[in-house]
Amino acid sequence: MQTHEIRRRFLDHFVKAGHVEVPSASLILDDPNLLFVNAGMVQFKPYFLGQQTPPYPRATSVQKCVRTGDIEEVGKTTRHNTFFQMAGNFSFGDYFKEGAITFAWELITKSQEEGGYGFDPERIWVTAYEQDPEAAEIWRRVAGIPDERIQFRDGKDNYWDMGVPGPGGPCSEIYYDRGPQYGKEGGPIVDEDRYLEIWNLVFMQDERGELSPKLGNPPVGVLPKKNIDTGMGVERVALLLQGVDNVYETDLVRPVIEKAEELSGSRYHVGSDENDVRFRVIADHARTAAMLIADGVNPSNEGRGYVLRRLLRRIVRSARLLGATQPVMAEFMSVVSTMMSPSYPDLATDFERIERVAVGEEAAFLRTLDTGSRLFELAATEARTAGKTTLAGSEAFALHDTYGFPIDLTLEMASEAGLSVDEEGFRTLMAEQRQRAKADAHSRKQAHADQSVYKELLDTHPTEFTGYTELNSEARVLGLILDGQRVRHATQGQEIEVILDRSPLYAESGGQMADIGRITAAGLALSVNDVQKIGKKLWIHKVTVDEGEIVEGSDVLAQVDPQWRRGATQGHSGTHLVHAALRQILGPNAVQAGSMNKPGYLRFDFSWQGGLSDSVRQEIEEVTNEAMLANYPVNIFETDLAKARSMGALALFGENYGDRVRVVEMGGPFSMELCAGTHVHSSADVGPVTILGESSVGSGVRRVEAYVGMDSYKYLARERALLEGVAAALKVSPEDVPTRVESLVERLKSAEKELEKHRAAAVLASAGSLAASAERLGDVLVVAQQAPDGIGAADVRTLVADVRGRLGSEAAVVALFSASDGKVPFVIATTEAARAVGLKAGDLVRNVAPLIEGRGGGKPDMAQGSGSNEAGIAAAIAALRESVSANAK
C-alpha cells in the first residue's frame, strides 16, 4: 500500500467516525517552546491547555513534523527521521480511552478491501502505563488481546506531557511483531526493532506541574475535561505494509537514495555501513529541507535557518563522501517534489523557489569547502613542519565551528596527508559547545504563557473589529486585566489591558503595526499604546489610564488616531505595490518572506539569491511609483480560500487561513494578496515611494526598505538639501557634483600613490640603518628592536625581509616589534645559515609571543604574531637574544 493511500485511509476512517478533517499546520508556528512543529497535537494546544474552546468536539489530521534533537544520529538507525508525517485523531472532552482504542483497533485490523490496513491481529502487541490497568482491561475487552501481549511500562515510556507545565496523561502504544528475523522474542520491552511502534494513544487527563509525572512525580491536578491525542507514524506503517526493512526503503524515500546512487556511483546496501548511513542522511535531509523551504524557512546562522543550513550541508557532505563530484541539490529536490507533491502540492507549485534556495546554499557550501581545504593544508603543513603526526583537536574544531568544514572531510584529508586527528579533543570541544547551546536554550525556554484569564472572554464575547469602516466606535468594556489577573476597575496612572466588545483599533498582524489611539468616556481618558489579539478574535488593548477610573461593564468610545491610521494604510498598501513590482521585474520566485510596515515606512523581505543591481532597484522604484500614479482602485472582498487561490491571490508563508479569506486587489492582475490589514482606497493615496536600499538578511533572503507618502517627500527634500550643500562647497551646480567628486577622488588616489612612494622610500632608508646596527651573539648577527617611528604594522614584514637580505650569507636573525592602538604586531626572519644552526623563525615566535600576551607562528624562514602588551616588548627582545645565544657558538 502506497504512503499517500495510507494517509487517505486514515483520514477517511476518522471523518466517517464524526471527526472534522483539519489540514496540516505549517512547520512554523508562533510558539516560544518550539523551533518546528514536532507533533500532531501542536496546533490544538490552546484547546488542550484550556485557553480556547475548540470549534469541534473531535478532529483528525495528518501533520507534517520535524524533530532535530540530534541530527548527527540520523541514518545510524533505520527507524527515525527528522521529517515525518503524524496521523492523529483528537477528542476534546468527547470520547476517552475506550473510544480511542476502538477507533485504532478497527482501522489497523479491518481488511484492506474494507478500507483498513489489514494487520494481523495476532501480531499486535500493546503497552500501557504501569499505573493504568484500565487501559489494559479495555484492550482485552475491545480487541481481545491476551495478557501475554500487553506489557506495562513506567512513565519514561508510557506517560506523555509537553515538557513544561500543562496537560498530560498516561499513554498506550501499539506495536507490530515483524518476526524473528528482526530480533528477540518477548515483546517491545525486549526489542523495539522487532516489535515496531506504530501508534501512540495519549489519554490526556492530568495537569502537570514543574516536575513531570514521566519521572514519577504526581500530577498537580486533574483536567476539567478528559481529552484524546493520538499519533500514528505514517512512515512506519508504510514500511510494514510495503514489506520493506526500514523507512528509508519505502516508496517516498527510496527514490532519493536511488538518485544518490546515480550521482555518486556508490551503491546502497552493498557492505559499507558508513556509506549506508550517508545514503540515509541524504534521503532523510532532502525531504526535511524541501518541506522547511516550502514553509518559508531560509538558510541562516541562527534558529530555524541554521537547522536548514546544517541539513543542506550534510547532504552535500554526504554526497561528496559517496563520490559525487558535481552539484547534487537540484536533483534531490526534484525527486522529493515528485514523490511528495501528491500530498503536499506546494512542493510542485513552488518548486522553482525551493530549488533555488537549496542550490544557492549548496553553492555557498562548496565555496566553504574550498576555503576549508586551503586552511586545512596550512594547518597540516604546520603540523608536519613541527614534526607532528597528529592534527590538534582545536584545529579540527576551528575548521568545523568557524568555517563549517565537516569533521568527516578533515579526517579523510588528514589520512591522505599522513596525519591523524585528535578526535577526542575535537569531540570534547564539540560537547562543550553543545552544552553551552543547551544551557542557552534552557535559559530562553519558557512555559506556555498562561492565557486562561482570557478563556471566558474568548468563549463568550469575541471582539468585533470595526476598523475597516470606521475610526470611532462605541463599545462596552468586557474585561480588565492587570498583571495577568482580572480586575473590576483601574485608576489614573495604571497600565492595564482592556478588552472591548467592539474596536476600530487594528491589532498587530500581517506585518502591520498596531494602531494607537484613545479610549474615552465622561471623566475618563486612556491612551492606547498597543493592540494585540488572542485566538484571532479577542482584541487586547494595552493602555495607560491618563484620567479618571475605568470600570468593567462601562460604555466607552474607542478612537483610532486618524493621522496614524492614514500613514499605516499608506505603508501597508505600499508594501503590496513593492511586492507586485518585485514579482513583475524578478519573476514569481521573488516570494514574500516577511514584512513590517508602519506610518510612512515599510520593509519587505523576499526570497532571492544575490543582491540587486542599482538599475534593478531603480526599476523596482519606477514600477512601484507608476502603479501609484495609475490611481488603481483598491478592491477588497471576502471569498473562500480555494477560489482565492484559483484567482491567483498570494498567501503568506506559515499563515493558517480559514475557509473564508479577505482578498486585497490593486489594479486587477497587478497585485492580489490575502490580507487582513487596513489599506488606502486607491493606489495614488500611497503617495510617492522612495526605496532607501536593499540588503541581505540571511542566505537567500533580501530586504527592501522604503519611505511612503510625506515621509518619502521629506526624505527626498533632505537629500536635495544635502546635494545643494555639497554643490555649494564644491562651487559647482548640482548637476556637476558627480563629475567634480569623481575628479577629486582621482586626485586623492594620485596623492596617496605619491605618499606611498615616499613611505616606501622611508622604509628602505631605515633598512640600511637597522642592518648596520646588527650585533653579534657568538656566530649569529641579531637585529632585535622596536620598529622605527612611522613604520606601521603593514610595513614591518617588508622591512624585516629587507634587513635580512642586507645581512647576506651570514647567520642572522631579524626581529622587529611595532606598537600602535593597543596592538603589538611583530615579525621574525632567519637566514639560511641561522636555520642551519637550529634557529627557526616559527619556534622563536612561539617563545616570545607570551611575553607580549600574544600568539603567532609561521615557517622556519619567516614567522609573525601579534600581542596586546606593549610593555612586554623589552622582555620579548631579551628572550629572543637568550634563545639566539643558546644556539650560537
- Residues annotated in a binding site for Zn(2+): 572, 576, 675, 679
Residue 320 backbone dihedrals phi, psi, to 5 degrees: -65, -40
Q: 778 is written with which cell numbers?
A: 657568538
Secondary structure class of 750 (helix, strand, coil): helix
Q: 191 is written with which cell numbers?
A: 526489542
Identify which of 407, 506, 497 has the alpha carbon closest to the alpha carbon of residue 453: 497
Q: 296 is written with which cell numbers?
A: 518559508
State the DSSP code for 139: I
Secondary structure class of 521 (helix, strand, coil): strand
The amino acid present at 798, given as its one-letter code, is T
Pairing of strands 495-500, 472-482: antiparallel
Give the integer Cα–Cα distance in Å for 408 and 98.
51
Q: Which residues are annotated as a binding site?
A: 572, 576, 675, 679
Give the integer Cα–Cα distance in Å for 353 and 290.
10
Q: Is 848 exposed, middle or buried (0-12, 13-18, 19+ CB in 10 A)?
A: buried
Q: Which residues pair with 752 in a beta bridge?
A: none
State the DSSP code for 149: G
Give the integer Cα–Cα distance in Å for 688 and 715.
11
Q: Report which secondary-structure segment, H or E, holds 82.
A: none
Contact 349, 320 (CB under 8 A): no
The amino acid present at 723, given as its one-letter code, is L
Name, in order, each residue with C-beta under 8 angstroms of 97's C-beta and a sequence gap of 6 or more.
Answer: 134, 135, 138, 172, 201, 203, 228
Give the integer Cα–Cα distance in Å for 117 and 110.
6
Angle between helix 393-403 and helix 407-416 axes, rounded to 10 deg: 130
The string of DSSP codes covering 541-599 is EEEEEEESEEETT-EEEEEE-HHHHHHHHHHHHHHHHHHHHHHHHH-TT--EEEEEEET
Name, in order, each residue with C-beta under 8 angstroms of 706's C-beta and a sequence gap of 6 or more.
Answer: 574, 578, 601, 602, 603, 604, 621, 624, 689, 690, 691, 692, 712
Name, in order, each residue with C-beta under 8 angstroms of 172's C-beta and a sequence gap of 6 or more.
Answer: 97, 101, 126, 127, 128, 129, 132, 135, 139, 158, 200, 201, 203
Q: Which residues pair with 866 in a beta bridge?
A: 825, 855
Give the integer Cα–Cα distance in Å for 339 and 4.
10
Query: For the chain, what is the total number of helices (H) and then of strands (E)?
Result: 25, 35
Instruction: Report the alpha-carbon angle 616-617-623, nearest 5.
Output: 85
Secondary structure class of 628 (helix, strand, coil): helix
Cα dist. 887→809, 839, 884 in Å? 18, 7, 5
Identify which of 886, 850, 846 has the alpha carbon closest to the alpha carbon of residue 867: 850
Give the integer Cα–Cα distance in Å for 259 and 282.
10
Pairing of strands 58-66, 20-21: parallel
Name, in order, each residue with C-beta under 8 angstroms of 233's C-beta and a sequence gap of 6 or more.
Answer: 84, 85, 86, 87, 197, 198, 199
